[in-house]
Amino acid sequence: MHMINVETPVQQTKQKGIFSPTVDFQYSIFLHANSITGFFMLFFVSASSMRNLERLSFDSTTAFD
């Protein structure tokens, strides 16, 4: 993946260690959502999270058999 490194207040805050990696990752996806790469990253993350939800619900239902 190729990201253009631009100084933003978010990066300055990140250097202070306020953001956790997951929040900063989601925020970077939100910042790049208007680009095609950001759109596909957002789609991939949402698809993988939906797949995890399906697997969790499937495990919970089969556990009662």
Q: Which ranges of 1-65 does DSSP label H, i.e. alpha helix? A: 9-15, 21-31, 36-62
pLDDT reported for residue 49: 77
CB atoms within 10 A of CB 40: 10
Task: Please state whether the predicted TM-score (pTM) of the whole model is above 0.75.
Answer: no
- Confidence class of residue 47 from pLDDT cuts 50, 70 and 90? confident
1-36: pLDDT as tens digits: 555 555 555 555 455 555 555 666 666 666 655 666
